[in-house]
A and B are shown apart, each in its own frame.
Chain A
Amino acid sequence: MGAIAIDPQSNRAEIDHGNCVECYQCYRGMSQEHLNPTLVRSLRTVLGWMRLRFEPEPDVCPTAAFEPDELTWPRVVRRAFSDVTSTHESTGVHGRGTEEVKTNDVTHRVGPGEAGLVVEFGRPGVGVWFRDIDRMTAALADAGAEFEPNNPVTQLMADRSRGKVRTDILDEKVLSAIVEIKVPLSGVEEILEVVETVGPRLQTVVSLGIGAVCGPGASNPLPELLSRRGYPVIRGKTNLGLGRVTNPTETALHVAK
C-alpha cells in the first residue's frame, strides 16, 4: 500500500492513515525485539557517521514500535476486509469472508447449469476504495446480476437490487474485497462483458474467478466458453466433493431460520 514511509522532516517512519488499509500486518507480521528506541537510533547514527550500515533481518522491528489503533465505524470496515485474521460476522469466514465453490459440495449454492462468479477488487497488492466497488456493482446490477446474499460486500449494500453500497463507507480503502454472483451459464458472457467494460475505468485492478459444478468424467462447461473469449483456463481450485452435512438436523434448521 505504501502507507509507511520515512518522513524527510522528522527522519522517522510515519503512517499515512489515508492509504493505510488496517491490515495489521506491520504489527502482526513483523518479529519484534523490544529494544530501547533511543539506543537503536543512537547506534544507527554512530554507524552512519562511520559510513557503516548494519544489515539486520528485514522482517524484524527492533523497537516493537507498532501498536494497533482502536477503530470505530466506518474505519473498522478497513480491518474487516484487510486483516486476514479477522472473521466476517456475516459469513463466519476470515480473510475476504467468502466460500464460493469451496464448500459447494455441502451448500449446493451453485447448481448444474449455473456459474458462480467471483469479482475481486484491489488484488494483488493495489487496494480498492469502496466507491470503485460501488461503480462495478451498480453496473453488474443493471445487467441483472444476482448478488450472493451470504457475502460481506453484499451485506454492506444499501440497495441490493441496484448494487448500491452504503454511502458512509464509500471513502474507505481496503486491501481487497470480493463480490460473488450466481448466473445461469447462458448469462456468463454478459457479466464478463460488464466487468471487461467497467474494469479499466476503475482506479484499481480486478481479479476474476468463475466456477461451475462438474459433470460425468470431471467434465466442465466453462473451459470452452472461457477459451472462446480468450481467457486462460489453466489454474484454479478443484472441490473434491468430499464434504457433507454432519451437524445434527436441529442445528441446520436453526441456522436456516
Chain B
Amino acid sequence: MTNTLHRSGQPEDLKDDYILFAMCTRGRNDLGASERLREFLRICARHHPVNMGDGKNGSIFRPSRHLNPLAHWRRPANGSVEDVIEGITTPTTAAAVFDNPDSLYECLQEVRAADLGLSINISALVEDAVNCSRRAGIEPHAVEYSLGFMGNTSQLADANTLSLTTMCGHGMVASAFAQKMIDWVKTRRKSAAECARYMSRFCVCGVFNPVRAERLLCRMANQEPGG
C-alpha cells in the first residue's frame, strides 16, 4: 500500500481523498484473516466508499473478459461491493476510499468497535487522518510521510497527469492514457465521469478515487462536474 503514499496534488486538492486499508502480517495475525478482512470491507461498505478493492482480485470497477460489441454503447457494470468482499479468500490488503472525512470518521468508529486485530491505516492528509482517528478515540501508532519525488525528475509527466496517475501508485494507470482522458474530456468526446471510470478499471487495488478524478478532469477542462 505504498501505492497510496505519494498521491500528487496541493493540500486543498486532497481534501476529498481518504483511503482506509487493513492488512495482516504473515505469522503474526494472518490465521483467519480472510474473514476479518471481509468484515472490514463490510463495515466500510456501510459508509458509502467511492471505491473498494483488494490487491489480488480487483476493485468495484474491473475489466471484463467477455464483452460483446454492444458494450461500446451500453456497457454493463462489471464488479460490485459484494464481488470485492466475497473475493477475499486469502490474506491480502483490503482498502476503501472515501471522499469526505465524516464518512471516514463514522467508519473508523465501527472498525474500532469490531476489534479485528488487523493493522488499520489511513492514507490521507496527515492532519486530517490524525484528527479523524482521535475523534474516533484512537491514538495513532505511527506516521509515514511522503517526501515527494526527486532524482531525474525531467522524466516525470506534467502536474495534471500526475494528479491522476498517482492515484494508482502501482503505476497501473499509464501517463499516456491519463493524458488521452484529459484530452477527451476537454474535447467533450466523453464525460469526466466516464473517463474517471475508465482509469479506475486499471487500478487493481481499488484505491483510485473516481470522484476526485472526475473533479480534477472537470477542472482541467473548465467544465462543471456532472456536465
Residues on A facing B (Cβ under 8 Å)? 1-2, 23, 25, 28-35, 55-60, 62, 64, 84-85, 87, 91-96, 98-107, 110, 116, 118, 120-126, 175-176, 178, 195-196, 199-200, 202-214, 218, 220, 222-223, 226, 231-248, 251-252, 254-256
Contact of B155 among A60, A175, A204 (CB under 8 A): A204
- Convert B179-193 into 0s and 1s, putting 1 for each residue whose CB lies closer than 8 angstroms to a CB of A: 011001000010000
> Which of A33, A236, A239, A251 is packed against the most chain B CB atoms within 10 Å?
A236
Residue on A with the closest CB to B31?
A247
Residues B137-183 near A (CB distance < 8 A)? 138-153, 155-157, 162, 165-166, 169-172, 174-177, 180-181
Q: Determine the chain A residues whose CB is within 8 A of the CB of B177 once the complex forms.
A: 58
User: With A125-B175, A214-B139, A246-B28 given, can you name 13 additional A-B contacts, CB distance below 8 Å?
Assistant: A33-B68, A35-B69, A57-B75, A116-B144, A123-B149, A126-B155, A204-B151, A233-B126, A235-B14, A239-B141, A243-B29, A247-B27, A248-B31
B48-85 contacts to A, CB under 8 A, are 55-56, 63-69, 71-72, 75, 78
Bound form: Cα–Cα A237–B23 in Å: 13
Q: Do residues A243 and B119 form an inter-chain contact, with CB atoms below 8 A? A: yes
What's the count of A-B pairs with C-beta under 8 Å? 331
Which residue numbers of B lie inside 8 Å of A, CB to CB? 1-8, 11, 14, 21, 23-32, 55-56, 63-69, 71-72, 75, 78, 91-93, 108, 111-112, 115-127, 129-130, 133-134, 138-153, 155-157, 162, 165-166, 169-172, 174-177, 180-181, 184, 189, 198, 201-202, 204-205
Closest chain-A Cβ to B71's Cβ sits at a distance in Å of 6
Pick the residue among A100, A118, A126 that contacts B156 (CB under 8 A).
A126
Q: Is the CB of A209 within 8 A of B169?
A: no
Contact flag A238-B140 (CB < 8 Å), given A209-B2, A243-B118: yes
Contact A205 B152 (CB under 8 A): yes
A23 lies within 8 A of B172 (CB): yes
B170 contacts A240, CB within 8 Å?
no
A235 and B125 in contact (CB under 8 A), knowing A84-B205, A123-B171?
A: yes
- Given the known inter-chain contacts A23-B172, A199-B150, please indicate yes or no for A205 contacting B26, CB distance below 8 A: no
- Which residue of chain B lies nearest to A176 when distances are taken between CB atoms in the complex? B171
Q: Chain A residues with Cβ under 8 A from B144's Cβ? A: 100-102, 116, 118, 209-211, 236-237, 239
Q: Are B71 and A33 in contact (CB under 8 A)?
A: yes
**A120 partner residues in chain B, CB cutoff 8 A:** 2, 6
B188 CB → nearest A CB, Å:
12
* B97 → chain A closest CB, angstroms: 14
Q: Please name 17 pairs of A and B residues whose Cβ atoms are closer than 8 Å in the assembled complex, sorted by A.
A: A25-B172, A31-B65, A56-B72, A92-B30, A94-B93, A96-B2, A103-B23, A124-B149, A195-B150, A202-B151, A206-B149, A207-B147, A234-B146, A235-B123, A236-B146, A239-B120, A243-B120
Contact A205 B171 (CB under 8 A): no
Q: Which residues of A are found within 8 Å of B142, using beta-carbon distances?
A: 101, 104-105, 110, 211-214, 238-239, 241
B21 contacts across to A, CB distance below 8 A: 102
A65 to B143, CA, bound (A): 44
CB contact between B143 and one of A199, A204, A238 (< 8 Å): that residue: A238
Say how far A240's CB is from chain B's closest CB, in angstroms: 5
In the bound assembly, the distance between CA atoms of A222 and B126 in angstroms comes to 12
Q: Say yes or no: B26 contacts A237, CB within 8 Å.
A: no
Q: Is the CB of A234 within 8 A of B140?
A: no
A35 to B67: give the CA distance in the assembly, Å. 10
**How far is A209 from B110 in the complex, measured between Cα atoms in Å?**
29
Q: A125-B157, A240-B120 are in contact. Are A214 and B201 (CB under 8 A)?
A: no
Q: Is B204 within 8 A of A125, CB to CB?
A: no
Nearest-Cβ distance from residue B223 to partner chain A, whole angstroms: 19
Most A Cβ at <10 Å: residue of B133, B170, B180: B170
The list of the 10 closest CB pairs from A to B, nearest first, reads A241-B141, A255-B27, A211-B144, A243-B119, A199-B151, A206-B151, A208-B147, A92-B26, A238-B129, A236-B145
With A58-B198, A102-B1, A241-B140 given, is the CB distance from A223 to B145 under 8 Å?
A: yes
Cβ-neighbour of A212 out of B126, B127, B143 (below 8 A): B143
With A195-B150, A207-B149, A212-B142 in contact, is A234–B165 under 8 Å at CB? no
Cα–Cα, bound, A208→B6 (Å): 9
Task: Flag if A237 contacts B123 (CB, 8 Å).
Answer: yes
Q: Which residues of B contact A1 (CB under 8 A)?
A: 174
From known contacts A31-B201, A218-B134, A243-B29, infer whether A235 and B7 are also in contact, taking CB-CB under 8 Å: yes
